[in-house]
Every structure is written in C-alpha cells, then in structure tokens.
Structure 1
C-alpha cells in the first residue's frame, strides 16, 4: 500500500502532459487567428477535415496546432471538435455545405429522442456548441479598454439623426396606448 500511492501519483504526473493536447478535427472551414478574438490578425485558414491538436480554451476560442498546413493559432470553438466527438462527423470538402441550420435541426432530432420513454435505449454522445464564459481569474484580471470605448463612441447617434434615418426609411411614429394591466 505504501508503494501504491507514490506509484499512482507518479503515473498521474507523467500522464498530465499527455492529456494537455487533445486530437481534434476541423468541422467547417476555419480562419486561424493570432489571438483569441475576431479582431486579431488572421494567420491562415484550415479546411474541413484537417487534423489538429487542441491545447487551450479561452471563452469561445480554442488554441490549435495543425501539421498540414503547418499552422498554429486560435479558432472559434464551434469550428472544431475533439477527435472522439468528431469521429462521427464526415469531413466536408471545401466550403461548409451543411450550414448551421441543418446542424441545428439534426441536434434537435437527436435531443427529442432523449425525452421519449424507451426502457432499452442506450445513450450516445452528442456534440453541441457551448461557451462557458469567463473564468474567475479572467474576471479578476479584467481591465477596461478605453481605446475600444473611444472607437465605440463613433457609433453614437443623436435624436435628430435617428429621426432623419427613420424618415428616409419611410417609418413614422405611432401612438400606442398604455396597458392598464387589467383583463
């Protein structure tokens, strides 16, 4: 027993780096970015079916490394799947031909089977899109980006411009009576 615990700890420590990179596959054409964010520089593009190694996740982005073509960077989470989940996904050639709504409909059909009563049913894994959001450390270390705030100010509109825009679009004001809340 005394030798078993150190042996288990050693096994866990040696196996941890092996778990760090997970094999995956690109399920739709994906732009590879230098940093996690749509505004960051694009460093390349991967087509559907490309084999990748997923190393890190940050919000809705995953850090990947591809061998063919040799690329490393960040892609959106929904554009890649881990190898186990991706094994059932047929790689699409070129552009994504299925589209988002087709995938959503397929997920809906699979999810509806979950609620049916079937005593002999077996469950199978279904890949879904999910963004966990910010971690506690990311929230604590968050800083205001005043440069981006200044950029956003250029989109501010005053009432006069908004009325002019509505008039050009053929919109007009309509008076709606206040609801009393009684039935």
Structure 2
C-alpha cells in the first residue's frame, strides 16, 4: 500500500475508528492498540484497488475489537475519554466545553444500554457516517434489517433518556 494513501486514510478515519473501537471495550489503551493494529493490517493487506476502504477499515476494527475482548475475557468498565476531548478543545469556551462533555457522556452512557447490534448500528451511522448498505456489509445483515434496527434503537435510546429524566427536546 502506498504510504501517502495510508497517511490519508489515517488522517481521515483515525478519530472515528477510535470512537467506534472504544464503544466496544471502554478502554483508552485497548482502543488505541486496536486502532493501530487496524491500520497495520491496512498496510499489510489492503490493495489500492479496494472499492470501499472506509467500510473495510471498520470491518477490520470490529473483528479485532471482538477478538481482543474475547481474549481478555472480561468486561471493560466505562472510563472518561479525556484525552480525546482534550484534542477537541481548540479554544472553545470553558462552559461550552463542559456542557458538550456532559452531553457526550450522557449519550455515550445511554448507548451502552442498547443491545450490541443496535448500538453498533447507531455508532456506525452517526459517528462513522456509513450508509445502511455499508453497515449491512460490516454486520452481515440486510440493509433493510439495518434500517429497522436503527429505527428501534433510536426509539429505545429516546425512551431510556426520558425514563431517566433527561430533556431531549
């Protein structure tokens, strides 16, 4: 693989892949390791002619995440992702930063209450910005199933937030 192409892939997808992987393991160090391993696999095996590199990277990241969690044989606990949020500060006001952090933590916590497949679909849709067809390929389900599960996941997420007293208007 061309090093220029790999650099472009990394710059474009590193952050969102980290968030996706982190949603599996809730561990900063494990997510970093898996993200690096994902790009290493890209160096070793992805051809320049591959038609959808983003979907391929997500599929590799998903498989590596699942394997790493199985290998650890433990459930990781939720940790704050301060390092990532520190990168995003870029001069934002302190109040805005605090409110954004709180909202993101609330949403991330709520996502954890969804079943794994529904959680993955929402993360891939909104954080990974993948199409239903791409998500279907990654999860080995039909695009119609992705659409239905996405709809149900959003309803469950809204219900969870409302039941816990959060204003989502």
TM-score, length basis structure 1: 0.22
**Greater fraction of residues in strand:** 1
**Greater fraction of residues in helix:** 2
Larger radius of gyration: 1
Q: Which has the higher contact order (CA 8 A, sep 6+)?
A: 2
